[in-house]
Amino acid sequence: MSDEPKDAMHKLLTGMAQLEASDLHLKVGYAPYFRVHGSLRATKMAPLKDSAFLEALLDDLVPDVRRKEFEEKGALDFAASIATGDRFRVNMFRATGETHASIRRVQSQIPSFDELHLPQIYREVVTKSFEGLILISGVTGSGKSSTLAAMLDTINETRGMHIITIEDPVEFTFTSKKSIISQREVGIDVTDFEDALRHVVRQDPDCILIGELRDRETMMAAIQAAETGHLVLGSLHCSDATQSFSRILEFFPRSEHAFIRSSLANSLRAIMCQRLLAGIESTKRFPATEILLNNSVVKDKILREKDNELPGVITGGQEAGMHSFTDSLCELIQKELVHYDTAMDHAPNREALASAVKGIKTL
């Protein structure tokens, strides 16, 4: 292969850091596009002429052991790094017979809760939990991976634990501090999530991070590990706390719901949901959050199948740190971090937010 694709790929990846781009999109017939502060911007490069050239761009990034998987399945997730130390999460896939790719830049430095602008309750939950299940929920691009990394690094800094992560792909790489850490990547270190979780408790972990809880098997393994004294962190692709709880139940047949409810009532520590909003300063984004903490009231609602009453429990704020998206959005407006209209666009209940911000100067 000529050096041309290698040079072009290097320029694109280093350009992401220079422009603070979060994503790079490569599609045959189009020039490469960067996503900068949430908006797509075309580069000045010529359109990518065919799949052969696009695959040549990616050639140095694709792990050799996984090339066959792309040929067989038509899609592949993996992590890659370049000489600068920058890391990327890559998804290459076929569409209309052509190869395309979406590449997300992963911050090489593990962020802190303060850098992520997350409320103090995030730190409190992870520092006070030594066993049980902590779920981070949100849609794509809501910062779930960064939040989990901050949580894991806090544990690493403060406790002597054996931490095992199961990720697809590995995004942030950790250096052992007080804890020892084993990071396993699906497709390279282990065949799939199910296989990794089947053996994980035999590997003497204290803390298990599951990159994504995506099916019955991964969810059951997470619940069982949490019930047997492990601290389990995982992410769900859901927009709020109530939907997250419903999604968990959807993984299981109705005949198993009583058992799952009983397990969750005992093992669940928190469901922490987030959405990223554009800030008043165009270069910044801030998370709106919703926090459900498991207490005696929540446990009772779970066991009695009164999930529809969970939003009222969150809004009632019966536990310090528990709050709704409306509460969080109101605070972001009050602190003049996001525009009123931006908050309204993300509000689950526009009337409730409008009522909450009465008397606050809007922008």
How would you write the chain as a 3-class SS string? Answer: CCHHHHHHHHHHHHHHHHHCEEEEEEEECCCCEEEECCEEEECCCCCECCHHHHHHHHCCCCCHHHHHHHHHHCEEEEEEECCCCCEEEEEEEEECCEEEEEEEEECCCCCCCCCCCCCHHHHHHHHHCCCEEEEEECCCCCCHHHHHHHHHHHHHHHCCCEEEEEECCCCCCCCCCCCEEEEEEECCCECCHHHHHHHHHHHCCCEEEECCCCCHHHHHHHHHHHHCCCEEEEEECCCCHHHHHHHHHHCCCHHHHHHHHHHHHHHEEEEEEEEEEECCCCCCEEEEEEEEECCHHHHHHHHCCCHHHHHHHHHHCCCCCCECHHHHHHHHHHCCCCCHHHHHHHCCCHHHHHHHCCCCCCC
Is position 348 within any domain? Answer: no
**Given this model, what pLDDT does residue 358 score?**
84
Please tell me whether the overall predicted TM-score, pTM, comes out greater than 0.75 for this model: yes
**Given this model, what pLDDT does residue 362 score?**
44
Claim to verify: residue 202 and residue 143 sit in the same structural domain: yes
Claim to verify: residue 64 and residue 168 sit in the same structural domain: no
Claim to verify: residue 197 and residue 235 sit in the same structural domain: yes
**Given this model, what pLDDT does residue 360 score?**
59
Contact 34, 40 (CB under 8 A): yes
Q: Which two tokens stand for residue 42?
A: 């075309």
Claim to verify: residue 164 and residue 310 sit in the same structural domain: yes
Q: Which residues of the chain carry a pLDDT beneath 70?
A: 1-3, 108, 317, 359-363
**Given this model, what pLDDT does residue 254 score?**
95
Is position 336 within any domain? Answer: no
Count the domains in the chain. Answer: 2
| Domain, as residue range, for 93 | 3-106
Is position 340 within any domain? Answer: no
Claim to verify: residue 85 and residue 141 sit in the same structural domain: no
Claim to verify: residue 177 and residue 200 sit in the same structural domain: yes
Claim to verify: residue 206 and residue 175 sit in the same structural domain: yes
**Given this model, what pLDDT does residue 228 score?**
94
Claim to verify: residue 26 and residue 161 sit in the same structural domain: no
Claim to verify: residue 37 and residue 129 sit in the same structural domain: no
Claim to verify: residue 138 and residue 219 sit in the same structural domain: yes
Claim to verify: residue 150 and residue 92 sit in the same structural domain: no
